[in-house]
């Protein structure tokens, strides 16, 4: 697969899965625009645009600095639950959605959007009420009031952010069909990134049990090939999908939920 001469925007490009995606896309010939609060290492992206996805003005300014003709957007940036409920929901969902919508006029017809979900979003069906409520929050400054109203704590905020992101991805399956723009999500399980320890700290024994079941934790390089594939023409018939990339954990949970072991 070649991404030769295609312009791809990658948020969270300075570290972890975002950095791995940027590197693989560049290796396939893409021109990568990295969007992050922190500047990526020299040579890892073709252009850096600084942005804070918890700040509306910063999001809009960043989108304004990106030229038209973007052929793929990879929404990889995210915060762990240790960063607090309001920033987590702002960056992981409400700000991500605002950035995507702000960038839509800059996307080429036929462009791909890839969102980084999570195994944490696996149980969205059981929490559809909270998910629906978050989907209705359009302003970043309203997130704290939402958390208060629905008693969302720090740990829950991360799960909810990924549940909402997965549902929004499915909702948008045909939203931009007239322009042949498609959106999909990739949902990793535990991945060894700079924020991996934050998850272990928050989830405690639950995370420890997951790690005992798995052969190993994932690595950013395990996720990047799937993200890259979803950016390319070979995946153009995949729309509104949430694809697990988790060493089998989603399959394990689903089998357990219906008593198949």
The pLDDT of 59-87, averaged and rounded, is: 97
- Average pLDDT (82-92) is 97
Mention the CATH class of domain 7-257: alpha beta
Tens digit of pLDDT for each residue in 16-44?
999 999 999 999 999 999 999 999 999 99
Beta strand 31-36 with 7-11 is: parallel
Determine the pLDDT at residue 193: 76
Phi, psi of 28 (to 5 degrees): -90, 5
pTM: 0.94
> How confident is residue 197, by pLDDT bands cut at 50, 70 and 90?
low
Q: How far is CA 3 from CA 39, 184, 186, 235, in A?
A: 23, 18, 19, 13
Nearest to 114 by CA among 127, 126, 96, 131: 96
pLDDT band at 215, cuts 50/70/90?
Answer: confident
**Active site annotation includes 59:** no
Q: Where are the domains of the chain?
A: 7-257
Q: Which residue has the tokens 């195994």?
A: 119
Flag whether pLDDT at 210 surpasses 90: no
Average pLDDT over the chain reads 94
Active-site pick, 122, 146, 158, 159: 158
What pLDDT does residue 213 have? 78
∠ CA 180-75-138, rounded to 5°: 85
């Amino acid at each position: 697969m070649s991404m030769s001469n295609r312009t791809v925007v990658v948020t969270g490009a300075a570290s972890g899965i975002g950095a791995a995606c940027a590197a693989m896309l560049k290796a396939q010939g893409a021109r990568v625009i990295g969007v992050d609060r922190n500047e990526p290492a020299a040579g890892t992206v073709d252009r850096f645009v600084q942005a804070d996805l918890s700040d509306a003005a910063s999001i809009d300014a960043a989108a304004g600095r990106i030229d038209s003709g973007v052929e793929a957007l990879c929404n990889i940036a995210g915060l762990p639950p240790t960063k607090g409920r309001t920033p987590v929901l702002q960056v992981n969902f409400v700000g991500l959605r605002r950035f995507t919508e702000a960038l839509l006029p800059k996307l080429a017809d036929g462009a791909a959007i890839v969102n980084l979900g999570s195994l944490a979003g696996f149980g969205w069906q059981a929490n559809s009420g909270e998910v629906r409520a978050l989907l209705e929050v359009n302003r970043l400054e309203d997130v704290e009031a939402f958390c208060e109203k629905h008693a969302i704590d720090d740990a829950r905020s991360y799960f909810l952010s990924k549940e909402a992101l997965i549902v929004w991805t499915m909702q948008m399956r045909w939203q931009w069909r007239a322009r042949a723009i498609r959106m999909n999500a990739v949902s990793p399980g535990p991945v060894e990134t700079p924020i991996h320890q934050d998850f272990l700290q928050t989830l405690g024994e639950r995370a420890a049990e997951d790690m005992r079941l798995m052969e190993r934790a994932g690595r950013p390089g395990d996720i990047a090939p799937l993200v890259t594939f979803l950016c390319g023409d070979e995946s153009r018939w995949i729309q509104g999908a949430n694809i697990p990339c988790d060493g089998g954990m989603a399959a394990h949970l689903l089998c357990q939920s219906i008593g198949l072991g």
